[in-house]
Structure 1
Amino acid sequence: MFDNFKCMVAAVAATVVVSSPVWAETRVTYKSAKAGTSYYQMGVQIAEAMKAGSDGNIIVTVEEGQGSVQNVMEVRARGGDYVFTTPPALVGLAQGGKAMFEGKSDPSFDEIRALFPIPSLTMHFVVSADSGIDSFEDMEGKTILLGKGSFGAREGEKYLNLFGLEGKVNIADAELSNAVGALKNGQIDGFVTAGSWPAPNVVEAAASAGVKVLSLSDDQVAQTKRARLVIPAGTYAGQDEDIVTTSLPVVAYTTTKMDDDTAYQLTKTFWESKNAMAETAAWWAGVDTDLMENIAGKIHPGAIRYYKEAGIALTDDQM
């Protein structure tokens, strides 16, 4: 009998040793953007914050992404450990089988659920202090660098057309990576860039060349059909007033395959770590609960649990 008891104790002990790590550690894959971009760096910061904020219980592996559309498409083959970033508008298109998702619809798209917002893609229209440009109308006859193939380039061209400048602006044939040097050398009068704010290339241009970042009027913001965003005064060198511009919201998503407890812990740890992240990377300072209104579509039940505990209001559609 004593031998049988020892065998039972040994079996229980073995079970605890085998199962304990599974209980203590949750592994998540976070997919955002290409390595070297600000959004990839944000993923690294989130991974570090999750590990620190959960006492090592949440381990996030950052994967290089090939774009927001691809991030959404991968939902079809991923499990409950998948977190990805994309604009809410793309989720809506995927669920409706529209635009780039036409003919590629999948039932798994309907299971996409939001966790929390991250810094928005923010439009910057940057002009040199010596260009004489104080408004969009002043861009007529000037040389502006839009870049090629990026969201900022497409959006910048759209805005110039919306504001009556189609064919009236000289578009520089150069990559956005050359913008600051070209501005300092007087080869261009300005450039357009989109990214989290403060944008590194705008910081560099403001510090080394002297620039003005144009504001949009409320009517111009309405014409773009994008979210209004205010960059506070003092964000860039020489910026004495708030900048009114537009943004494309970006959100961290998962699917209903993720269990509620994991979604809760991810969301809770993100918000509780945000201020600490902002101390080392200023773009996190632009993320607050006001951005929750940009989440079009449903939020994961585990995340909803956190938002209710924190007293953060959600819409009926988000529930």
Structure 2
Amino acid sequence: MKKRTLLAVALLSLVAFVGTAYAVTYITIASGGIGGTYYPLGGVMAEILTKAGIDVKATSRATSASRENCRLVASGRAHIGMSMGSTLYQAYTGTEAFEEDGALPLRILMHMYPAPHHIVTTKGTGITKFEDIIGKRVSVGAPGGGDQVLTNMILEAAGIDPDKDIKKQQLTQPEGVMALKDGNVDVVFWNFATPGSAVLEVAAVRDIVMIPIPQDVVDKVVEKFPFMFPYKIPKGTYPGKEEDVLTVADGNFLVVNKDMDEELAYKLVKTIIENREEIMKSIPQAEHFVPEEASIAIIPVHPGAAKYFKEHGIEVPVE
């Protein structure tokens, strides 16, 4: 009888050990639509997390991106979501597009990469500084598009009325490229990650000039729109550009539910950042996956992620 009891205890212990050793956490990453950066990045991240030996099995899911992803993570239908900073801020505060939702229980896992605003002209225009755009033919971006929304924020902060002070044009990115190359527009405002293919296309046939935003205008934009942050496009990003260019940027973030397990969040951010070089083989923007940039925050950071950043000497806001 005693032997049977000991055998039963041993078997139960073995089952418990095996169950613990092979416990797997299933993670869904809400990425974006096919053709954008989010979609392939989600696939690479899922593969990295699954193979990392952290007892995680991850899959990536195509979505309509930022707005949907914030709602999926808040409702628990996805564990990690990709979102632009402007959308994330609205979701966290329950404003604008999320007024009916109310404030969503989201936290930052990490900042992925910036989308700085580009103000581009060519040498033939004679434009060298921001105030030179007054009276010029300026494309502010396509109607209703993100480029135009952010451009209007900048112009407002600078005290420039786009309907009175410039000869406003509303061109899509491909239209802006052609217009700038052909001399049919003087300046274009664009928002995208660096290096932007639109800028490189113009630079292939024209000598481009990158216009910095004055510091006081940057300060006003950031103060009024907390999801924006100061950013310098590094010298050498574009042909012939030997100086950093001051601008403002919207960010692209990985977000999680505030109730995610702290240790899981720690493992996720640690694994993604420490596999930066592997991710870069497919997604160049992963060059920004370093603690100094990944810790940029526009809303509170999840405590698990904050723990990782603290190990690298970086304090982040935690609610």
| Fold equivalence (TM over 0.5) | yes
Match for residue 70 of structure 1?
Answer: 68
Pairing 1:254-273 to 2, within 5 Å after superposition: 254-273=256-275
Which consecutive residues of structure 2, in runs of 5 or more, have no partner in the other structure? 223-227
Q: Post-superposition shift, 1:272? A: 0.6
Q: Is the 8 A contact 2:265 2:305 kept in 1?
A: yes
Determine helix, strand or coil for the equivalent of 2:309. Answer: helix
Match for residue 308 of structure 2?
Answer: 306
Pairing 1:22-61 to 2, within 5 Å after superposition: 23=23, 25-52=24-51, 54-55=52-53, 57-61=55-59
Residue identity matched to 1:29: T
Q: Post-superposition shift, 1:280? A: 5.4
Structure-2-length-normalised TM-score: 0.81
Q: Post-superposition shift, 1:55? A: 4.6
For residues 27-64 of structure 1, the C-alpha deviation after alignment (integer angstroms, 9 at most, x for no partner) is 32222333212333333343343345x05854432223
Does the alignment pair 1:246 with 2:256?
no
For residues 288-319 of structure 1, the C-alpha deviation after alignment (integer angstroms, 9 at most, x for no partner) is 433356314433233233334x333224x415
Match for residue 197 of structure 2?
Answer: 200
Q: Is the 8 A contact 1:119 1:196 kept in 2?
A: yes
Aligned-residue CA RMSD in angstroms?
Answer: 3.4
Aligned equivalents of 2:168, 2:200: Cα separation in 1: 23
Determine helix, strand or coil for the equivalent of 1:294. Answer: coil
Structure-1-length-normalised TM-score: 0.81
Residue identity matched to 2:143: K
**Which shifted more, 116-125 or 255-264?**
255-264
Q: Is the 8 A contact 2:140 2:151 kept in 1?
A: no
Determine helix, strand or coil for the equivalent of 2:209. Answer: strand
In the alignment, which of 112, 119, 127 is matched to residue 125 of structure 1? 119
* Cα distance change of structure 1 residues 216 and 302 upon mapping to structure 2, 3 Å threshold: same
Which consecutive residues of structure 1, in runs of 5 or more, have no partner in the other structure? none
Residue identity matched to 1:183: L
* Cα distance change of structure 1 residues 57 and 65 upon mapping to structure 2, 3 Å threshold: same
Determine helix, strand or coil for the equivalent of 1:149. Answer: coil
Aligned equivalents of 2:33, 2:186: Cα separation in 1: 29
Q: Post-superposition shift, 1:229? A: 0.5
**Which shifted more, 62-71 or 225-234?**
62-71
Aligned equivalents of 1:93, 1:165: Cα separation in 2: 25
Q: Post-superposition shift, 1:97? A: 3.1
Identity %: 22
In the alignment, which of 157, 162, 169 is matched to residue 162 of structure 1? 157
Q: Post-superposition shift, 1:19? A: 5.0
Q: Is the 8 A contact 2:173 2:198 kept in 1?
A: no
Q: How many residues get paired?
A: 311
Match for residue 225 of structure 2?
Answer: none
**Which shifted more, 125-134 or 177-186?**
177-186
Aligned equivalents of 2:53, 2:235: Cα separation in 1: 37
Does the alignment pair 1:221 with 2:223?
no
Aligned equivalents of 1:143, 1:91: Cα separation in 2: 29
Does the alignment pair 1:153 with 2:166?
no
Aligned equivalents of 2:272, 2:130: Cα separation in 1: 38
Aligned equivalents of 1:63, 1:129: Cα separation in 2: 44
